Chain A
Amino acid sequence: MRRKEGALVPLEVSILEAALELRSRGIAEAHGFMLAKELRDGAHARRLTAYGTLYKALDRLERAGYLSSRWEDPQLAADDGRPRRRFYRVTLTGEAALNEAMSAERDATLPRSAAVQPS
């Protein structure tokens, strides 16, 4: 089924949450692996998100304006003897989309909760 334009899928919600969690710990920008690790640890999963799944989701989030990215100075990477790195940061639009997705999820679960409340 084709998903609604701009709608967040669970992985994308998790990525935005992970990025915000990292930001709350003082890491304003995170690269792909860092986000994958945060997702794995947060979900107590055994494995990191697959490459294709992770980077496709990051690409979509950036295209939707929910994330912005920048490439680090190649010299820094060269000095560290590693590949250059792309850093992502959640945008204001991304935060708003995440809040909307969370409240939509809450709304969707409310009627079910209400149904089991004693009258």
Chain B
Amino acid sequence: MNSSPVAGLVRGWVTLYTRGLSADARAARRDEIDDDLWCEREEATATGRSARSLETDLALRLVFGIPSDISWRLAHRRAPDPAILEGSSSMGTRTLGALAIVAALTWGTLLVLFIPFSHSVWTGRIGVFGVLGTLVGAIAFMAVSIGFAMRFQDRIGAIGTVGVALTALGGLASMTGFIVPLVVGTAMLTFDLARIRFVSLVIPIIHLATTIATVGLVLAQANLDDLGIRALFGALLAPYLLTWIWMGVSLVRGVPAPSHAPGG
């Protein structure tokens, strides 16, 4: 085996860019490169080539090949998230995904601004953008939820249906700053989507945690004028918004053909 530092670097890079591939694919690429490294060292020994020249060659072969390694790796993407089994790359699904991302990013931006600027995000100089952002995010969340309901109308159950209704109402309520119905609704909806194995169970769990935390803040009559409380509020909502980005990206990228859950 070629045990030079540069050879180690080559192996490390192979390990890195093959992460997430099947064990067989990883082993195949690793063994092929290992054999190549071994052969080159054997050739260098046979021809009396200096160690430095060999190391330089290995390094250049590594560096010049990196763009191809990356494009190869992108073409062999990780087997689709097992958590997200159903869907397609249809225009409708991609639109839902894009809306979910827009909603999460819009509200994420507002949330980041809310922590230092408090309510002046909606009333101060940037108030117009704050109000517009809130509206865009709320409408997008409602649209995505209704889109999910339409897409899976034959599969979602009572919890999901109530969740969609609550999400739609919650979207309207959130325009006034009251977000509890929205997170309760999406927790119910995503729970049902997890039941039919469209999303990972992690998503409704995060939504449920956000629900509990925001209800807790409301019950505790937390004063959002306090910077620390606003920061806490932001920290609680961040994972919630990230789950929407997660779902959105999965939908935009397209996921494999339906795999029906038992009883789903």
Contact = CB atoms under 8 A, between A and B. Distances in A.
Interface string B49-72: 000000001001111111111111
Interface string B20-32: 0000000011011
A82 B64 CA distance: 25
Interface in B26-50: 28-29, 31-36, 38-40, 43
| Interface SS of chain B | helix
B126 interface: no
Contact of A37 (B35, B43, B70): B43
B40 A56 contact: no
Contact of B69 (A32, A34, A52, A71): A52
A56 B69 contact: yes
A55 B35 contact: no
Q: Range of interface residues on chain A? A: 20 to 34
A56 B36 CA distance: 14
Contact of B71 (A31, A37, A51, A56): A56
A100 interface: no
Q: Which of A33, A34, A51, A71 has the most CB of B within 10 A?
A: A51
B36 A52 contact: no
Interface stretch (A17-25, A83-91, A108-116): A83-91
B257 interface: no
A117 interface: no
Contacts of A56: 65, 68-69, 71-72
A84 B62 contact: no
B31 A50 contact: no
B66 A84 contact: no
B42 to A, nearest CB: 8
B31 A83 contact: yes
B38 A55 contact: no
Nearest to B40: A33
A76 interface: no
Q: Range of interface residues on chain B? A: 20 to 34
A48 interface: yes
Interface string A53-74: 1111101000000000001000
B184 interface: no
Given A33-B40, A82-B38, A83-B38, A52 B31 contact: no
A47 B60 contact: yes
A36 interface: yes
Given A48-B57, A50-B60, A51-B61, A33 B35 contact: yes
A50 B61 contact: yes
Interface string B195-208: 00000000000000
A59 B67 CA distance: 15
Contacts of B62: 50-51
Q: Which of B1, B40, B63, B65 has the most CB of A within 10 A?
A: B65
B35 A82 contact: yes
Interface string B65-82: 111111110000000000
Contacts of B67: 52
Interface of B: 1, 10, 28-29, 31-36, 38-40, 43, 57, 60-72
Interface of A: 31-34, 36-37, 47-57, 59, 71, 82-86
